[in-house]
Amino acid sequence: MSDLLAGAYLAQGTIGNVGTPGAPIAKFSLVVVPSQHSVTGTVVITQAIQGPDSHIVVNVTGKIYGAGIGKVTQLVSLQGEYIHSVPPPKIGSFLAKFDAHLAIDNAWNGTGGFSYYQHNIENVPVTAAKNLKEELV
């Protein structure tokens, strides 16, 4: 049982064009277990434009594999669902899907993309958190 979580670590960072007005940004906090090729955690999608998609929290699971393609050393896929509420005058909520894909180096920097209800963001930077305290501010 002790070998089950061998090498586990915390990965945090962002997916998206940080600093671009109105761009959706996905912040991730993931527990990575390379020996099991598993990733589990939370993604928070924010967007400066107010609306039903301006702050979304998604619990995610996924896979991580070695790549060995130039600077890209790891490939990560994430999936999850969240409750999407329909804005007035309509009423209701439903489960919407979230997906992400990352091509990163060992420091969790690279390129990726993500999609969620009627949004598809491709070929954007993936940037590791420099410092946990900075990310929480």
Q: Which helix (H) or strand (E) holds 132?
A: helix 132-136
Asked whether the beta carbons of 131 and 22 are under 8 A apart, the reply is no
Q: Which helix (H) or strand (E) holds 133?
A: helix 132-136
* DSSP-derived secondary structure letter, 4: G
- pLDDT at residue 62 above 50? yes
Q: Which tokens hold the place of 48?
A: 């400066």
Name the pLDDT band for 134 (thresholds 50, 70, 90): very low
Cα→Cα distances 78→28, 85, 132, Å = 10, 22, 21
Name the pLDDT band for 131 (thresholds 50, 70, 90): low
Name the pLDDT band for 63 (thresholds 50, 70, 90): very high
